[in-house]
Chains A and B, each alone.
Chain A
């Protein structure tokens, strides 16, 4: 069935609520109103207030409750209304959820999922488009998953719920409704920490995730028309832990790499991928790894967004440079 990402996520949540009575879904405006993006639409009506409910406007409370619930046997799926609001519950996430297993040597664990929309190109006010995955790279104990299409979104969410440790599930706002894809209606999972080769190639590897995957594909197509270059595009899907094998295999094959992400440059996924390549397949490299990223500034106002975000021309530039 053709679904948008919203519909796929809604479907995934409904399946989780149905198959496991320990699953609960909560967050701001997600119950009665079905969520500001309608990801949780109709779920409260279907599963009742005890399973799907609205919370007060308190991110720390939301995550704190989730931690408690998960330690004591529930499988909470908490929603933070926008990823930029994660800052308000950092303490809960980083000092508690991420460390629970470590601290208790496995006696207590937090099988919880935190969902949050992120991403630019949609003209939002401050803090609604921020990309935070880089920060969680340095927070061992939390996995970070970012799907780029409805099929992956549904399968990755199912895998995240099944995972015994905390997973941060970031959903790109621009991709929410921008296209439909054939998605099965039954339950299935897409494995975490496994990248996907969207398009095979031999001359360069482009690593992307979220809304940058379509950008990478378009740039790959254009450069092939320009000079016949065959570009491999890899959708990382899980940005922490990264699928190192996929990265190494691809760069060993092509010898050139470019990483694209919306998040700021310093200390981002691009930096991490470059370091991995450096450690494991430096001698396959024919050129320095290129990074196409947001600038090292706070996320800009809507009027400047288009200058800030990586786009096809910037990606083409980077590709040309690594292929010189």
Chain B
């Protein structure tokens, strides 16, 4: 609006166009509502523009580069000489992927007639918000609001991020030039993936882990495979580190995320925050004000969850459907977690220890990828499949996969757990052969005591 301050009535106002926000906007539009989506920049959020997608793109590119240089190729009779990479070109390709996805989201939004406003918004009261955009100020009166503003890197005391010497993961992904060496502080999947990515490209990487263990809650055998993979890349790992003791620079710190929300004037709307600083919500994603919802990294439910885009996406749909009067809730039984190291790791549900802690008597089985035909033909047999079930009725409780495409295969296990499948159910169906999924089958049969492809002790 050029002149004056006209109030616009809107059914659903969505703040933040990341995976939580844009999905919520589209779902609400599908359900017939007039939706306005507000974001500071182009749609996509942290995931598309600064986080998941750029990271996975660079991981894929670096993996290709590394695989060409590896010994396996010679073993297959392929000789590759003088393979080089150009970091700026790689970054440009990464950006191309990001742009393509962002453009796709933009088209989806306009196709669903979602009004997109570029700017920052804040609450005036529980029913009105102001958005300061490039063309002036907007005043909205909304029936429902979905807050999906995400989170940013949690600050570290006395160590401000400058994007050159002390970096957030996002800043690391945007480095214009590759440093000769890079240090990382953290223990989550982001730290491991970043370390892996840079190490593959020849950067000398040191990994400082604050605790005693790299990924909390993951089975020890599995972790050993991952750690071996890191070592193979030349990454030096030091556990029990404290951040003040790290002298090396540049240093990338992955210290967790802090929910955004400072500029929103939440108190003016009566929206309360939780103990971790996120917006407190119930299972229907409602905040303390019933018609204002929050989803994704900026929200905080009754159980703490990792900050994942998959969660934000589902919560966005729940919030939109809830705002349109449906009775739905965010209540998955399990959340799959994937780490794109070499080898790749994916886990869902309980580990054997967690299941025992929960009171189950545990039946578990494992199967080494070295015995899986497909893994061998891929030349990537470093890995294993692990299944955890309840001993009494065979109910599948968890699975961990290490190896190629683990992140894509874990969905089978997630489905099995959600559907309440038993070991017998999994062992009854047919699996494509040769296939990596067969490792799941064999781990199940191992748990049932009848695995075929492991030699029994004579």
Contacts and interface: CB of A to CB of B under 8 A. Distances in A.
Instruction: Tell me if chains A and B make direct contact, with any CB pair below 8 A.
Output: yes
Name, among B1, B3, B9, B141, the residue most crowded by chain A CB atoms within 10 Å (CB to CB): B3
B9 A124 contact: no
Contacts of B9: 4, 177-180
Nearest to A120: B4
Interface in B1-31: 1-9
A273 B2 CA distance: 36
Interface in A92-130: 122-125, 128-129
Classify chain A's interface size: 10 to 19
B6 A177 contact: yes
Contact of B6 (A82, A174, A180): A174
A124 B7 contact: no
A169 interface: no
Name, among A122, A125, A176, A177, the residue most crowded by chain B CB atoms within 10 Å (CB to CB): A177
Interface string A164-193: 000000000110111110000000000000
Contacts of B141: 178
Interface in A265-289: none
B260 interface: no
Nearest to B33: A2
Contacts of A88: none
A57 interface: no
A84 B3 CA distance: 13
A249 to B, nearest CB: 34
Contact of B5 (A4, A36, A122): A122
B34 interface: yes
A174 B8 CA distance: 9
A177 B8 CA distance: 5
A123 B109 CA distance: 31
A36 B7 contact: no
B8 A178 contact: yes
B3 A178 contact: no
Given A178-B141, A180-B34, A36 B2 contact: yes
B4 A128 contact: yes
B8 A173 contact: no
Contacts of B2: 36
B6 A173 contact: yes
B247 to A, nearest CB: 56
B3 A36 contact: yes
Contacts of A179: 9
A193 B34 CA distance: 34
A124 B3 contact: yes
Contacts of B34: 2, 180
B6 A125 contact: no
A123 B7 CA distance: 11
B7 A177 contact: yes
A122 B1 CA distance: 11
A2 B6 CA distance: 19
Contacts of B3: 36, 82, 124-125, 128
Nearest to B8: A177
Contacts of B6: 37, 122, 173-174, 176-178
A22 B8 CA distance: 33
A123 B4 CA distance: 5
A177 B142 CA distance: 12
A4 B8 CA distance: 9
Contacts of B5: 122-124
Contacts of B4: 122-124, 128-129, 173
A126 to B, nearest CB: 11
Interface in B351-388: none
B124 to A, nearest CB: 14
Nearest to A179: B9
A31 to B, nearest CB: 16
A37 B8 CA distance: 11
Contacts of A125: 3
Nearest to A129: B4
A119 to B, nearest CB: 10
Contacts of B1: 36-37
Contacts of A129: 4
Contacts of A4: 8-9
A77 B3 CA distance: 23
Interface in A174-224: 174, 176-180
A129 B5 CA distance: 11
A178 B1 CA distance: 14
Contacts of A178: 6-9, 141
Name, among B1, B2, B4, B141, the residue most crowded by chain A CB atoms within 10 Å (CB to CB): B4
Interface in B304-319: none
Interface in B222-269: none
A180 B141 CA distance: 12
A2 B11 CA distance: 11
B2 to A, nearest CB: 5
A37 B9 CA distance: 14
B136 to A, nearest CB: 11
B228 to A, nearest CB: 61
A82 B6 CA distance: 14
A177 B4 CA distance: 13
B162 to A, nearest CB: 41
A298 to B, nearest CB: 17
Nearest to A82: B3
B96 to A, nearest CB: 31
Interface in A12-34: none
Contacts of A180: 9, 34
Nearest to A36: B2
A124 B34 CA distance: 27
A231 to B, nearest CB: 26
A174 B4 CA distance: 10
Nearest to B141: A178
A173 B141 CA distance: 15
A106 B198 CA distance: 86
Nearest to B2: A36
A177 B140 CA distance: 9
Contacts of A176: 6
Nearest to B10: A177
Interface string B169-210: 000000000000000000000000000000000000000000
A97 to B, nearest CB: 26
Contacts of A128: 3-4
A-B pairs, 10 with minimum CB distance: A124-B4, A177-B8, A122-B4, A123-B5, A178-B7, A179-B9, A122-B5, A36-B2, A122-B6, A124-B3
Interface of A: 2, 4, 36-37, 82, 122-125, 128-129, 173-174, 176-180
Given A176-B6, A178-B9, 6 more contacts: A37-B1, A122-B6, A124-B4, A124-B5, A128-B3, A177-B6
20 contacts: A4-B8, A36-B1, A36-B2, A36-B3, A82-B3, A122-B4, A122-B6, A123-B5, A124-B3, A124-B4, A125-B3, A128-B3, A128-B4, A174-B6, A176-B6, A177-B7, A178-B6, A178-B8, A178-B141, A180-B34
